[in-house]
Amino acid sequence: MNTLGYHYVVEASGCDPKVLEDAKELKRIMLEAAKIGEMEVRSTYFYKFSPRGVSGMLIVSESHISIHTWPEKGYAAVDVYTCDTDSKPEKALEYILKQIGADYAHITEIERGIEDEDGTYTHAILSWDEEPREEAKIK
């Protein structure tokens, strides 16, 4: 089965509020994640909301990486989408979750652009839970 891309949609909980409200730090984290994930950054945009919260986007040659934060809830919504089979979106995501201090992450992987025999496209979905801080302690 041929696919055109992998899209990771993540609900990250128990994150460090100080990191989640720091647009400069989030940009640094996301740029490093792109590097770790072997993705080429084309453009970035980060916006700090008042009083709290940040939305940030990296446009990469392979697609995008985005984050939207709610520091007061310790919550971040993270997306990593790639249409390049050589990039490592899982590595990028793992780095982001560790850097924002996520205690828990619900991850949905969407295999996108699966071509059916009739020339139409569909997707497949797989979801799982992780506890990034606990996994870091084990390693």
83 is catalytic: yes
What's the whole-number mean pLDDT along residues 93-105? 97
| Distance from C-alpha of 35 to C-alpha of 88, rounded to nearest angstrom | 10
Q: To the nearest whole number, what is the mean pLDDT of the chain?
A: 93
Active-site residue (options: 7, 83, 106, 123): 83
Segment 65-71 shows an average pLDDT of 98
Residue range of the domain that includes 50 = 5-138
Stretch (H or E) spanning 25: helix 23-36
How far apart are alpha carbons 67 and 49 in whole angstroms? 13
Catalytic residue (choose from 7, 15, 63, 87): 63
Q: What angle do CA 59, 24, 64 make, to 5 degrees?
A: 15
Written as one string, the DSSP assignment of 91-120 is: HHHHHHHHHTT-SEEEEEEEEEEEEPTTS-
Tally of domains within the chain = 1
Residues 68, 87, 106, 127: which is the catalytic one?
A: 68
Per-residue tokens: 118: 């009739």
Does the pLDDT value for residue 38 go beyond 50?
Answer: yes
Q: Whole-prediction pTM value?
A: 0.89
CB 82 within 8 A of CB 62: yes
Partners of 11 in the β-ladder: 77, 106
66 belongs to the catalytic site: no
Write down the pLDDT at residue 85: 78
Reply yes or no on whether the pLDDT at 136 is more than 70. Answer: no
Write the CATH number for 46.
3.60.90.10
Residue 68 annotated among the catalytic residues of the structure: yes
Quickly state the pLDDT bin for 101 (edges 50, 70, 90): very high
Query: What pLDDT, on the 0 to 100 scale, is given for residue 14?
Result: 98
